[in-house]
Structure 1
Amino acid sequence: MIQGVQIDLISAERLDRLTAMEKIRLILDDVMEGNIVVLEKGLAPDEQSKLIEITMREITPDGFSGIEMETYPVRDAPDGFLARLFGGKRSETRLTVIGPANQLKTIKKEKDLISAWVSSR
């Protein structure tokens, strides 16, 4: 049997095919098994809030300890009223790393780098 930590890299295409609740369940089920999840495209702010809300309900004293989640900072919105009015994206979600709180610790986070320490189970 292989020892270590499983890392699941989930493409933007796969995430785009799922509803918000399907994304949350996919992530949470994976993390509750002790896996690290890396999303090519981050979650929308309302999806992040719902993920945290559901996670808080599923924490148990002797079992699941919650999640650690880091996302690259959102890219700046386009400048000016016209850019926003004619199709400029208000915010663009970016790569997100999610894992069990007792296994994933963020060491450093910058605009283009997330350094994390991952312990085995």
Structure 2
Amino acid sequence: MEIKMDLVSEERINSMGSMEKIRFVLEGVKSGNIVVLEGGLTSEEQMNLIELTMAEVNENFPGIEMSGYPSKKGFLNMRRKARLTVIGPAKIMRTMKKEKDLISAVISAF
């Protein structure tokens, strides 16, 4: 079984509206792809992605695994969107481990 990984530039993600980003990610993951977003999603977009995913879970689509790094504090010490987000199908992403500057994923194609 092949595993496809989509590495999506921040420029492409920023050109999409919020719901368009969520649909783009969800469709990629439902197709069995691992989606890596440079620039990531906002907290609200992550929450909406989880809500939409939960509504679509069935025997063929068990859900998603997601991990990311928040951005560094910006203006007025407020956090912006994540710097990097990794999202993949729960059935192949067995383990996700996040350290200070590393996200590790164990991927099983069986």
Q: TM-score, normalised by structure 2?
A: 0.90
- SS at 1:69 equivalent: strand
Supply the distance in 1 between the matched residues of 2:109 and 2:33 (Cα, whole angstroms): 10
Q: Match of 2:86?
A: 97
Structure number, greater radius of gyration: 1
8 Å CA contact retained: 1:70, 1:106: no
Q: Match of 2:73?
A: 77
- SS at 1:21 equivalent: helix
8 Å CA contact retained: 2:67, 2:96: no
Q: CA deviation at 1:119?
A: 1.6
- SS at 1:43 equivalent: coil
**1:67 to 1:76, Cα distance in 2 relative to 1, 3 A:** same
Judging by fraction of residues, say which structure has more strand. 2
Q: CA deviation at 1:105?
A: 2.7
8 Å CA contact retained: 2:8, 2:37: yes
Letter in 2 for 1:77: K
Supply the distance in 2 between the matched residues of 1:10 and 1:17 (Cα, whole angstroms): 11
Letter in 1 for 2:79: S
Deviating 4+ runs (over 2 angstroms): 74-78, 105-108
CA RMSD of aligned residues (A): 1.6
Are 2:103 and 1:68 aligned?
A: no
Supply the distance in 1 between the matched residues of 2:33 and 2:42 (Cα, whole angstroms): 21
Aligned residues: 109
Q: CA deviation at 1:111?
A: 1.6
Are 2:110 and 1:113 aligned?
A: no
Q: CA deviation at 1:120?
A: 1.7
Q: CA deviation at 1:90?
A: 1.6
- Structure 2, unmatched stretches of 5+, are none
Identity of aligned residues (%): 50
What pairs up with 1:1-121 in 2 under 5 angstroms?
Answer: 3-60=1-58, 62-72=59-69, 74-77=70-73, 84=76, 90-92=78-80, 93-120=82-109
Supply the distance in 2 between the matched residues of 1:21 and 1:117 (Cα, whole angstroms): 29
